Structure formats: C-alpha cells, structure tokens
Chains A and B, each alone.
Chain A
Amino acid sequence: MNFLRGVMGGQSAGPQHTEAETIQKLCDRVASSTLLDDRRNAVRALKSLSKKYRLEVGIQAMEHLIHVLQTDRSDSEIIGYALDTLYNIISNDEEEEVDDVEEENSTRPSEDLGSQFTEIFIKQPENITLLLSLLEEFDFHVRWPGVKLLTSLLKHLGPQVQQIILVSPMGVSRLMDLLADSREVIRNDGVLLLQALTRSNGAIQKIVAFENAFERLLDIITEEGNSDGGIVVEDCLLLLQNLLKNNNSNQNFFKEGSYIQRMKPWFEVGDENSGWSAQKVTNLHLMLQLVRVLVSPTNPPGATSSCQKAMFQCGLLQQLCTILMATGVPADILTETINTVSEVIRGCQVNQDYFASVNAPSNPPRPAIVVLLMSMVNERQPFVLRCAVLYCFQCFLYKNQKGQGEIVSTLLPSTIDATGNSVSAGQLLCGGLFSTDSLSNWCAAVALAHALQENATQKEQLLRVQLATSIGNPPVSLLQQCTNILSQGDKINRRGSKIQTRVGLLMLLCTWLSNCPIAVTHFLHNSANVPFLTGQIAENLGEEEQLVQGLCALLLGITIYFNDNSLESYMKEKLKQLIEKRIGKENFIEKLGFISKHDLYSRASQKPQPNFLSPECMIFDHEFTKLVKELEGVITKAIYKSREEDKEEEEVKKTLEQHDSIVTHYKNMIREQDLQLEELKQQISTLKCQNEQLQTAVTQQASQIQQHKDQYNLLKIQLGKETQHQGSHNDGAQMNGIQPEEISRLREEVEELKSNQELLQSQLAEKDSLIESLKSLETSSGMNEQSSEAASIRDSEQIAELKQELETLKSQLNTQSMEINNLQIEKQELLQKAEAFAQSVPVPGDSEKIAAKTTDVEGRLSALLEENKELKNEIKSLSEEKTAIKEQLDSSNSTIAILQNEKNSLELHIKDSKKEQDDLLVLLADQDQKIIAIKKKLKEAGHPDEEEDELIIPVGQDDEFDEDEDDDKNDIEGDIQL
C-alpha cells in the first residue's frame, strides 16, 4: 500500500491530520466496540466523512467496513452505511461533480484512486461474493447502495470483476433478479449494473440473455412507452446492444425468441407526432442501431439473412420505410433510418424487391429510390444524409442483378420517358455525374459503378447510352462524356475538390472496363484516351495528384489486361511498349501502388458503409477497394511480361482453350452419358421390378398349374375307375343285363348237374364192379351151393333190386341228360338271343321285364355317358388352361430374356463410357505433359518457376482448372464404384 501513502502524502496537510485522527478513532470504534449502536454510529460518521476525505477513509476504513459487511449482516442499517461509505470511496461520480469547477487534470488522480481502491477491494474475491449475497437482501438501504457499489467496481476494473462474478455460483443470475425489482430506482440502476457487467464479455452476455434479459428489457421498454420513454429506455437499449453486438449466439437467440417482432412497434412514429424531444431522438437512434446490429454486413451471412427475412415478415422493414418517407423527421434520425433500411435490404432479394416498390406519398407518387437519389445529388442536403442515400442505393444493388438491370435500363434510349414528366434514377445519376458539385459527381459515379458491379450484361448495356449535348451537336456516348470530363475537367468551375470528381469518374471507368473487353475496345477506340492516361501517369506532379496518377495507371492496366486485341493500334503489346517508352515499367508499377498506399484506402476497405469523417475524405468506395486488391497483382504481372512470353502465353492459352474445349466437350459427353446411364439404370430397375412381379406371377401360375395337374390326375384316376365301371356296364349292356346272371345261374346248374351225373356215373361204376365181383364169385365157388343158392337168391333179389335201381338210375340219368340237353339248348338259345341282342341294340323287348330293365339300364347308361362327357369337357378346359398358362410362362420367360439383353447392352455402355473416360484421362495426362514441356521451354527461356505457373494459367482460371480435374477424378471413381 505504499503507493497509496505516496498519493496521500502529497495531499496531507495540517487540518487533514486531525481528520485523519478522527477517522482512525472511528475505525477503532467500528473494530472494537461491542455495542451495535456504537458501531453503527461510527460507520455513519465515516460515511459522512467519506466524500470529503475519500482517500483517508478509504485507506483506513475499508478493511473494517468489509468486516462489518461480513459480521453485521443482521442489521441492515449498518450494512447500508457501510455500503454507502464504500461506494463513496470507490466511485468517481461524486468527485466529478465537485471537480467540474476545478482543473481538468485533477480528475486524473481521483480516477486512479477509484481503480486503486477497487483493486484493494477485489484482491479478496470473496468480497465480491459477499457483495453478491448482500444484493439478495430486499431492504432498500442495502440493495440500492450494493447495486451502486458493484456498478462502480465494474466500471473501474471491469474484466477482473466480471471474472469473479462469472465464477461465483449463480452470480449473474442474482444480478438478473434486479430487473424484476418493483422499486424503479433499483431496477434502473440494475440496468446500469448489467450494462457494466456485460461490457465486452461474451460469456456473461450469454448468461444474461439466458436469464430472460431480452424478455424483461423489451417489457420495460414497452412499459415505458417505447421511444417516448425516458432515459430508462435508453439504458435498456444500451444494454440490449451490449448483449447483441458481435454475439452471434445471442443474436440467434433473439431471432429464435421472436423478439424481432417486438421491435416493430418501436418505429410506429406517426406523422402527426410533432414532439421530437432529445431523449426521443436518442432512443430512436439506439433502436435503429439495434436493428443494424442484427443485420450488420459483418455478421455471418446466414445469420444476417435470416434476420432480414424476419424483419420483412413481421413488417419491420415496411415500418422503417414509412419513417423514410414521412415528413418532419429529424435529419439524423432520417439518416440513421436510411442506413438501417440499407442494411435490412442488403443482399436480400425479397427485401430489395420490396424496397424498389416503395413509393413516396407525393403526387404523382414517385419511387422512394428516385426521391432518395434526388437528395444524394442535392448539394444542400447534409453530407451524412447523402452518404446514407448512397449506402442505401449500394445495398439495394448489392447482389441484385434485377435491380441493376432496372437502374441501367432507365438510361437506355428505348425506355427513357420522352415526355420528361417524371425523373428517372438514371437521369438523376447522369445529372449528378455531370453537375458542378464534385460530391454529386463522386456519389453518382460510385452509384453507377454499383449498378455494374459483377454484372457483365449491364456493363455492355451501359455502352449504348447516348447523351444529348448542346443543340446541333451529335449525341455523345456516356463513356465518351466521362473521359471528356476527365481530360478537360479543368475547364469547369466546380464546387468542392476537383480530385473527387476525377477519382469518382476513374473508379467508375475502372469498374466498367474490368472484365469487359468490349468496353475496353470502346474506350480505346477514342484515340485521345490513351495519350491522356500516359500523360497523367508520366507527369511528375504534386502529392495530391498521386492518387489520380495511380487510378490512371490502374485504368491503363485494365485496358491491357482485359484487352482482346481487337484494335490494331492498341493491341496489348503496343500498349505495353507505350508504357515502357513513355513511363517506364518500374515507374508505372510505383504509380499503381499509390492507390492502396493511400491513407483513406484501408478505412474504406473495412466496411461497406461509406463513412467519412468529412466531405474531403470521400475518396474511396468499399467495392472499389476490393477491385483494386484483385487487379493490382495481375496487372503488375501483365506489365512485366515480355512479348515472347506474351506470345507463348497466348499460345498456351489457345492450346489450353482448345484442350479446354475438348475437355469440356468430353465432359459434356460424359455428362450426357451419365444422364443416359442414369435413365437406363432407372429403366433397368423398373424392368427388374416388372420382372420380379412377372416371376412371382409365373410361380403363382406354376403352382396353379401344379394344382390343376393334381386335380387333373385325381380326376383322371376317378375317371379311370368310372370308365372301368362304364366298361363293365357297357359289356353288360351289349349282352343284356339280366341274361348274364341267368346264364351264370344256368351254368351253375349245368355244373351241378354235371357233377351229379359224375357222381351217378361213379356210383354206377361201383355197382358194375360189384356186379362183376358177384358174378365171378358165382362162377368160381361151387362148394357153397346151398349157401350160395340162398345167397344167390338173395343175390338175385339183390341183383333184381340193383337192376331196378340201375334201371331207375339209368332213367334218372336219361332224364338228367335230357335235362342237360334241354338246358344246353336253352343256353344255346339264350346265347343266340344274346348275340342277336348284341347285334341289334336296343334289344327288342322280348319281354316286358327285360324291356323295363333295358330302359333302366339305358337311363343309367346315358347318365353315365353324360357324366363321362362332362368329365371330358372338364379335362379339355383344364388342358386348355394349362396351355394358356404355358404360353404365359413362355412369354414371361421371353421378357426376362429381353431384360437380360438390355442389361447386357447397358453394361456394354458402361464399359464404353469407362473406356472413353480412360481415354480422356490419357488425353489429360498428355496435356499435362505438354504443359510441362511448355513450362520447360519457358524455363529455358530463363524465367523463374514460381512465376511461370501463374503466367501460363491466368489467375482464377487456374483454380477452376484444378477443380475440374478433381471433378473428373471424382466422376471416374464414382463410376468404378458402380
């Protein structure tokens, strides 16, 4: 703390010494007194001394005061006094009020004092945490000084205090609660605290936004009456700006939270609203700036464009345009509104189109663009307003080919309104270009250049513009008129700096001629132009002319670089010789370098908005600085190249172009083939699909066929059975149904009879043999006559019996054989009958019974026949179906074959194209070799390598070429994958 003593030492004088003692005593009381009342009184006394004896109180009492904060939290009164005292010590606010009367340099040490005390206070980070916890105290006497103290600390050593708050748990969240405080003073001072807290600290800004800061601040602004609100609105707007500026995450959150929509009512400033208080102007200014923060050209393009869209959709842009066209709006608000509209429409087609359609409420209505341009070329309008209009016009044309075309077309002969009733944008620009006001010249030239920016069509269209000069003289082209003014400009007396006019015109010409060989030819066609330029560059003029010389050099360089050698007298080579003879290469390059070395150049290259400290500084246009960057290098190279190199380069260029054309030809071919391939692939896939469908159909049908076959077989078997049945029936039918049964019965009978007969015959044979044996017995035995006689009697009786028996048997046999015969006859008859029946069907009904039976059989037969027929029909239809299915199968098989053929041909195709691509690759390799050879040649001609690469291939094409090669490779790889 030595440094503090040093500060103190300088100031300490006699009377203060006693005060210092008093302070010491008070501090002792604060530290040692056991009674709260005593301590409180002591702190209160310190507070009253703290303003006047800030240094002394600070040095001696801070420690004790912090101790009070830690220990006496229960008594809000003493805490309040302590905080007040600390605030008085640390804050410079009170001092400043006192110092107002004093000398200015006396504020210096007091500022240091504040930061030094802050440094002491935050040396213990817990002190900040303590302060944060005290802010939770609702008591007004604690919270309010606490807020003020913390704000002061943040103002002195922002980054350090921010860091401590950031790492203390819920630190930021607690501070956010201040916005919800019902006591306005605290809420308002809370806003100021948050302002200091969020200053250039992205992390805190995000946390504050996360804690619903947008919602709350927008609510406060609405409550306070938007722009009509007081300084609170201003503070809220400043805080919003802190939160949003350069913080993409918060901007995204703001947009996603639909807060853009809530900005629209801010700009509902009615015409009748006559009051434009200073506060209102400030508020509106900040509101406009907040809109600009969201659509700044320096934001990421995606973020800006989505905000631009939202602003159109919610009607914010429309609202801003009404302010633009309203009367009675203060100039600086109008200027800022124009700047805001500019950035809301910049590069956003929808918004640009809307802007083009805005009309001023005049009679007859005029387009807003025309009204604005009138202000731009009006020398009585404020400078900043004219700059804003130029910016607006530039933003309207930025990446807006349609708008560029519309502006240029108002200058073309066919569309100019001959009646002259209404002024067009083109007329205003021409008027500005040739007016006697140099600022108008510059603005009009730059505005016109923006209508040509990156738009080759409009560069050529503008060549058609003819200007009517004094009566009797032929019309002069716009290009001619511009160069005339350049070369003879000194004749006209102009308001303002002559350099501005010439710089403006030269910038216009450079933009116009770059990338447009036709315009270069037109320019060179005027034989006075080149001598004028060389003259300007060669002359050894004063410093203020250096810029014009540089621009002339740039223009001359453009006429060389973009020269297509269509003019015999001003071929590239001849112009270069001219430079070498009249100016000298080194000199030329040096002059060219003057442009980018100019003081104002870097400022203009930073931002698109034309923002000049004073009218004299209006020299460079942002887009033009881009052009200079792009062309400076290539022109330098072009100038240093020798004729041979040029020629070689030409040749190389030509061959390259040839090769390029071949390559592009093949590329196109490949592309076409790719397309074809794609189509064919699709065809294949569809055919495959169809094929699959057909195959499934075929398999279905095959299974059906199988089913049918099975059925058919089943039927066949059934049929077979039935036919067998039918066959037997048929036989029977042929022989007359009943007869076979009879016949079989008869046969059985016959059979029986036959067996009977056989039996009888065998009996007969037995009897015969018996008789025989008996006879032999009779003859051979004589000794037993008696017995034999009796026996013989018995025998004879027996014989007689036997004979009788025999006789009966014989007769029986006879009758039986008779019977057999009869039966046989009958059988014969029956057979005959059957034969007859068979020969003549239907059988003539011999008997009723048979006839009936026959009809019966016949009925059954016919039924069977019908059944048979039906079955046959069924078989027929089945077989028909079968053949049909077979046909279908064949046809689908053939389609499959066709598909396969197609597929094969496609594969061939692919192979062909692969081959072609391979050829191409070979060709490319050849070309590479050629290029290498040429490079070698160049090397032999004695030039360093580094330059050569770029010599051979013009910048820009170089990259494209590489990319193309890559593309080819990719294509090939892609194909291989196929």
Chain B
Amino acid sequence: MAYAYLFKYIIIGDTGVGKSCLLLQFTDKRFQPVHDLTIGVEFGARMITIDGKQIKLQIWDTAGQESFRSITRSYYRGAAGALLVYDITRRDTFNHLTTWLEDARQHSNSNMVIMLIGNKSDLESRREVKKEEGEAFAREHGLIFMETSAKTASNVEEAFINTAKEIYEKIQEGVFDINNEANGIKIGPQHAATNATHTGNQGGQQAGGGCC
C-alpha cells in the first residue's frame, strides 16, 4: 500500500499497564482480557490518514518487565514516537514514569515525540492516579497527555493519531531530518518520487503508485 510517510513508534511503560492491549485495540480493534506477558518486543502496523495523507505506523510493543529493559532500549534510537503508558489504578506505575522518561530521553533521538498515556480509564472506581496528576506530569516534562481505555477503545485511536499529528507537524516545521531513517521516519515511495523530481511530478507519482 502506498503511503506518504512511515513512522516508527515504540510503546513503553511498566509491565501490566496494557501496552499490548493498546496495540491490539489499535491494530485489530480487539481486546484481550487475559494478560499474556510480552517477550522482548512484538510488532504491529496500521495505516492512518492525517491531513489527507496516508501514514503508515509501525509499532513496536516492548516488554515492561525489568529483565527485558536492556533489549527494549535498543528500540529507542530508531523511533519517531513513543507511547509512555501507566495504569491509573496502580500508583507505582505512575511513580516509575520518571525512570522511564530518563531512559527514553537518554537513548532516543531528541526529537522523539512522547505521548503520556494513563490507561484503564474504564476502571474509574479503582483509580489511584488523578487525571490532573497525569496532566501535571505531562506539562512539567513537555509531553502530550491522554487517558485511554484499551478495553473500551476510548481515546486509543486518538492517542496514536495525535502522536502522529505531532510528528507530522514537526516534519512540516523542518525539525525532523526525514532523510535520516534512524529517526524512525521514512518517506513513502510515492512521496519520495515527487520530492526528488519536482519536474515531471506525475511520472514519478505514477511509477510510485504502480509499484505498490
């Protein structure tokens, strides 16, 4: 399928906060209530549209367990966006955010867009972390913030898409070097053709469309 841009995402956060469920809800529109520990990383992909442009999201869902931390660190550098997830019903997962953020900032490229996500918003009765606290943390550290529920799919779509929007805006502003794939951004075959040859745009586009 033809796409204008390809963004690489990673999902990070403590174990059991619902990272894999968020991904599953986003890619398959399903919810799996049984907790199945992620081993290392798992891959998922989906196409979205922003500003009329097709954008392919490639998402690496990482294991939250401490023992996998060294493996998951390898994914920071090549990602354009990160979803940092905590569980609103478990304060400790919120308390660990600083560690996660330090880790991410240390290993990623400086332009990586980080979206803070308070997951399990459907479990209002068991809430331990107030929405305001999440908002405050995000404000303090310059993150985007959202509360989601992978179970009810509330805000899941928005979380992924808003992150993509932020990246897209950064591209428009010229903050990202789109020709360096190590940033987790790739221009689609169609787009690259039009970018490369301003004259003879149509030919390039046709060729691009044909190959996909």
* A interacts with B: yes
What 0/1 pattern do residues 242 to 267 of A give for CB contact below 8 A with B? 00000001101100111001000000
CB pair A170 B43 closer than 8 Å: no
Which of B68-76, B130-138, B199-207 is found at the contact surface with chain A? B68-76
CB pair B77 A253 closer than 8 Å: no
CB pair B74 A173 closer than 8 Å: yes
CA distance A170 to B44 in the complex (A): 22
**B196 CB within 8 Å of chain A:** no
CA distance A102 to B72 in the complex (A): 48
In the complex, which residues of chain B have a beta carbon less than 8 angstroms from the beta carbon of A718? none
What 0/1 pattern do residues 205 to 244 of A give for CB contact below 8 A with B? 0110011100100000000000000000000000000000
CB pair B78 A249 closer than 8 Å: no
Would you give the shortest CB distance from B183 to chain A, in whole angstroms? 11
**A202 CB within 8 Å of chain B:** yes
In the complex, which residues of chain A have a beta carbon less than 8 angstroms from the beta carbon of B74? 166, 170-173, 207, 210
**B41 CB within 8 Å of chain A:** yes
CB pair B70 A256 closer than 8 Å: no
A to B contact number (C-beta, < 8 Å): 59
Would you give the shortest CB distance from A223 to chain B, in whole angstroms? 17
Least CB separation from B68: chain A residue: A203
CA distance A122 to B78 in the complex (A): 28
CA distance A135 to B212 in the complex (A): 37
From B45, B107, B211, B212, A253 is in contact (CB under 8 Å) with B45
CA distance A856 to B101 in the complex (A): 102
In the complex, which residues of chain B have a beta carbon less than 8 angstroms from the beta carbon of A169? 70, 73, 107
CA distance A170 to B75 in the complex (A): 9
**A167 CB within 8 Å of chain B:** yes
CA distance A202 to B41 in the complex (A): 10
**B54 CB within 8 Å of chain A:** no
CB pair B40 A253 closer than 8 Å: no
CA distance A299 to B164 in the complex (A): 32
From A211, A250, A258, B1 is in contact (CB under 8 Å) with A258
**B157 CB within 8 Å of chain A:** no
Query: For residues 28 through 49 of chain B, which have their beta carbon under 8 Å from a beta carbon of chain A?
Result: 39-45
Known contacts A210-B75, A258-B1; is-contact A249 B107 (Cβ 8 Å): no
In the complex, which residues of chain B have a beta carbon less than 8 angstroms from the beta carbon of A212? 78, 181
In the complex, which residues of chain A have a beta carbon less than 8 angstroms from the beta carbon of B58? 253, 256-257
In the complex, which residues of chain B have a beta carbon less than 8 angstroms from the beta carbon of A215? 181
In the complex, which residues of chain B have a beta carbon less than 8 angstroms from the beta carbon of A256? 43, 45, 56, 58
CA distance A207 to B73 in the complex (A): 10
Least CB separation from A177: chain B residue: B182
Q: How large is the interface on B (under 10, 10 to 19, 20 to 34, 35 or more residues)?
A: 20 to 34
**B60 CB within 8 Å of chain A:** yes
CA distance A166 to B73 in the complex (A): 10
Least CB separation from B8: chain A residue: A210
Known contacts A169-B107, A258-B212, A261-B212; is-contact A207 B71 (Cβ 8 Å): yes
From B43, B71, B107, B181, A250 is in contact (CB under 8 Å) with B43
Would you give the shortest CB distance from B158 to chain A, in whole angstroms? 22
CA distance A790 to B77 in the complex (A): 158
In the complex, which residues of chain A have a beta carbon less than 8 angstroms from the beta carbon of B45? 252-253, 256-257
CB pair A261 B70 closer than 8 Å: no
Q: Interface majority SS on B: helix, strand, loop or mixed?
A: mixed
CA distance A215 to B45 in the complex (A): 17
The size of the chain A interface, using a CB distance under 8 A, is: 23
Q: Interface majority SS on A: helix, strand, loop or mixed?
A: helix
Would you give the shortest CB distance from A84 to chain B, in whole angstroms? 29
Query: For residues 71 through 111 of chain B, which have their beta carbon under 8 Å from a beta carbon of chain A?
Result: 71, 73-75, 77-78, 107
CB pair A210 B71 closer than 8 Å: no
Query: For residues 107 through 122 of chain B, which have their beta carbon under 8 Å from a beta carbon of chain A?
Result: 107
CA distance A633 to B110 in the complex (A): 65
CB pair A203 B78 closer than 8 Å: no
Known contacts A170-B107, A258-B1, A261-B212; is-contact A249 B42 (Cβ 8 Å): yes
Would you give the shortest CB distance from A876 to chain B, in whole angstroms? 62
CA distance A167 to B40 in the complex (A): 12
CB pair B70 A167 closer than 8 Å: yes
From A203, A211, A252, B43 is in contact (CB under 8 Å) with A252
CB pair A170 B77 closer than 8 Å: yes
From A173, A206, A211, A257, B40 is in contact (CB under 8 Å) with A206
CB pair B41 A211 closer than 8 Å: no
CB pair B212 A206 closer than 8 Å: no
CB pair A249 B41 closer than 8 Å: yes
Would you give the shortest CB distance from A431 to chain B, in whole angstroms? 46
* CB-based closest 7 A-B pairs: A256-B45, A167-B70, A249-B43, A203-B40, A207-B74, A253-B43, A203-B71
Between-chain CB contacts (< 8 Å), 20 pairs: A166-B70, A166-B71, A169-B70, A169-B73, A170-B107, A202-B40, A206-B40, A206-B41, A207-B75, A210-B8, A210-B75, A210-B78, A215-B181, A249-B41, A249-B42, A249-B43, A253-B43, A253-B45, A253-B58, A257-B45
With A173-B74, A206-B41 already in contact, 15 other A-B pairs whose C-beta atoms are closer than 8 Å = A167-B71, A169-B70, A169-B73, A169-B107, A170-B107, A173-B77, A203-B40, A206-B60, A207-B75, A210-B41, A210-B75, A253-B43, A256-B45, A256-B58, A261-B211
Task: Give residues in B with beta carbon < 8 Å to A.
Answer: 1, 8, 39-45, 56, 58, 60, 70-71, 73-75, 77-78, 107, 181, 211-212
Task: Give residues in A with beta carbon < 8 Å to B.
Answer: 166-167, 169-173, 202-203, 206-207, 210-212, 215, 249-250, 252-253, 256-258, 261
